[in-house]
Structure formats: structure tokens, C-alpha cells
Amino acid sequence: MFYSLLTFLFSGLSILVLFPCLVLLGECLAAILPLKPRIEGTRPERIAVLIPAHNEAQVIERTLDSIAPQLQPTDTLIVVADNCTDATAELARSKGAKVLERFDTQARGKGHALAYGVRSLFSINPDIVVFMDADCDLSPGSLEQLAIQALATGKPVQGKYLMGYPSEPSIKDLISGFAFLVKNWVRPLGLANLGNPCLLTGTGMAFPWSILQNAPLASDNLVEDMQLGIDLAIAGHSPQFCVDAEITGRLPQQIDNATTQRTRWEHGHLKTLSTQVPRLLQASWQQRRFDLLALAAEVGIPPLSFLVLLWGGMTFLVVMAMILQIVGILPLVLLLIAGLALLVSILTAWAGFARSRLPLSSLLMIPLYLLWKIPLYLAFIWRPQTEWIRTDREKES
């Protein structure tokens, strides 16, 4: 009886590991399907680009330089200088942007800055609003494609947001960039090829004004973009992926900065997973909507490093239990299937999208990269980050 009970318990836990691995595999395989035709249409007459910026003097000019050539005279470029103590506002003005200065040390974070900026747009009444982070480059033609797709579909649109490598990247840079690529390119593309919505990833996001003007932006969630996408999806405006628009960010080079950024992203993701998956499942049932079920499955995939560590830890526990002869073989079979799904997912993503960016030999260094992430995940258990902390900027090289 005890043997059967433990086997049942371990099998249930193994299924919790297996399910996100299978969803990940399905998304990665779907991503290599032939691309759907680009959505064509007329460029909106009035596009507003909104950039929240907190002490971004070191990077704001480069970002604005990538956006300015894509603007037309009827468009608006706004920078929200949020609680800035540096020259962000002055530099943005020198580049021709309209600058809104906001000072509120209590309501901190990107969501509050965006809400402040959106309120200023009611006098402009744009057709489409595009959110950009202050440390990202917008590839030529991307602004138009984001706006066209948002106007044509009447839905929020997320561009392909990737991380650029430094001139001499470390193994950690390469693997971190690869994980970012899987999350922000491979998986959303797979979802799009399956006809499903994607999550918002923080920058390069376009919204029809009719949707955005009442959207819940002023969130204290550490991953406010993910929360916004979920809220809009439940309200009937599921975000769509735009593979033809590319936004490039910059990986932090200092160890402390990289750790701060990753801690905010991954603690926020794990907390959002625990609270929003049940909410999406409930909404999917109540509204009889498959797209919300698909989005719940997507949100239910934890950060890739966490998923690999979870699989490894669970496999170790099951093997030890089998050695002690207290569980049967079923949990191990389920975990071996999960491990195979993980391996095929990673290799498919690499072969299809990262071969030119990441040498295959670098994948062998993933175990060392995971060791760096263990303290981050332990901190989520003992001391989870709850306050939005901006990553310090490094000087442009």
C-alpha cells in the first residue's frame, strides 16, 4: 500500500514536470513550420511611440536614433523621464522627442511610467501606440510593420525582442542570449504558427488606441508586460506575434547588473505563473475560449533554466527512491520522456534559429550556466524579490 501510494505521488509530481516540457516541445517544433504570409495593410496615419526612461542618459540617444528615421510628420515620439536624476530628459529633447518628466518615488516602476505617458495621449488620439524600452534598438521597418499588424488585426502585437551580444561574449552571455531567443522568438513563433496568442515581452509592443486607453498599465508586478498581456487576453484582446519586427536589447556585462535583471525577470515570472495560470484556466472555461487555454499552457512553462533544474532534481529524487525500492518505475519513465522532450526542444531551437549565434559546443556548458542560476532560484524560496528594481546601465562601449 505504501509502495503504491508513493509511486502514485511521484508519478503525479513527474507529470507536473512532463507537461511543460511537452508544451515547450510542441512550440519549438511548430516554430520550424513554414512562416505564414506577412500581414499587409496601410500604415496608420498617427503612430505614437512611448518610451519610459529612468536615468537612461547612457543609452537613450542610441535608442532614439534607431526610431527617428522610421517616424513620419504625423507621428509622435514621447519619452517619460521617470524620477530621473541624470540628463535623460535633456538628451531626449535634443533628439526631438517630447519629454514628460514624472516625479513619484512611491509609485515606482515601468508600469506607472507608461500609465503616465498614456494619459498624455488623449489629446493626440493616435491610431496605434508603440511601447519601446530606452535601452533597445528598433530595426529599420519594424515600426511600420508593428503598426500595420496592430491596425489590421485590432489586437496588441509583440515584435521579436532579442538580446545583442558584446564584442567578446562569455559562455554565460551566449547561453543567456540563447535562452532569451527561445523565450522571445522560437516559442512565440511556434504559437503564431499554431494560431495561438503570445505573451508580451516588454518592448516593441504595439496597441490599437481603442484598446490601450483603458488598459491596466500601472502594475506593481515585476513582469508588468506579462501581466498586461494576460489581462488584455482575458478581456478579449489576445496579443499576436510579429516576426517581421525586430527589437534588440543589450545584455548587462557586470555580474551584479546581470543578476539584478535576471532576478527581477525570473522571480516575477515564477510568481505570475503561480497566480495567473489558474486565472487563465478559469477564464478559458467561463468564456469557452481555447486561446486562453493555450496561453495558460504557455504561462505554465517556467524559465528554461528553472525547468531543466526542476527536471534534474526530480529525476535524482526518483532514482534514489527506486534504489531504496519505495517507488515503481512509472515516475522514471515519465521523467525520461520529459528529459527527451527538453533535449529535442533545445536542439530544435538551436538548429533552426541559433546556429549562427551559438556554437554547438557551447551547449555543453549549460550545466555550468545552471550552477550560476541555482542561488537565484533558492532566493525565490527564501527571499523572493517583491520590489521593482531597475538594472543599472553600463557605459556604451
78: phi then psi, degrees, rounded to nearest 5: -125, 130
Query: How many Cβ atoms sit within 10 Å of the Cβ of residue 254?
Result: 12
Is the pLDDT at 214 greater than 50? The verdict is: yes
* Residue 319: how many other CB atoms lie within 10 Å: 14
- Average per-residue pLDDT in the chain? 89
Query: Which grid cell sits at 61?
Result: 540617444
How is the chain split into domains, by residue range? Answer: 47-185+199-269
How far CA 40 is from CA of 43, 50, 126, 153, 156, in Å, comes to: 9, 24, 20, 10, 16
pTM for this structure?
Answer: 0.89
> Helix, strand, or coil here: 345?
helix
Residue 255 has pLDDT above 50, yes or no: no
pLDDT in tens, 358-395: 888 888 888 878 877 777 777 766 666 555 455 555 55
Residue 69 has a pLDDT of 97
Q: What is the pLDDT of residue 89?
A: 95
User: Which class is 47-185+199-269 in CATH?
Assistant: alpha beta
Amino acid residing at 102:
R
Lowest mean pLDDT among 6-10, 79-83, 194-198, 286-290: 6-10
| Residue type at position 263 | T
State how far the Cα of 53 lies from the Cα of 388, in Å rounded to an integer. 14
Residue 256 clears pLDDT 70, i.e. is over it? no
| Tens-digit pLDDT profile for residues 68-102 | 999 999 999 999 999 999 999 999 999 999 999 99
d(CA 51, CA 75): 14
The 3-state DSSP class for residue 353 equals: helix
Contacts 24+ apart (CB under 8 A), 360-369: 362/171, 362/174, 362/175, 362/178, 363/175, 365/171, 365/175, 366/175, 366/308, 368/171, 369/171, 369/172, 369/175, 369/176, 369/305
pLDDT of residue 107: 77
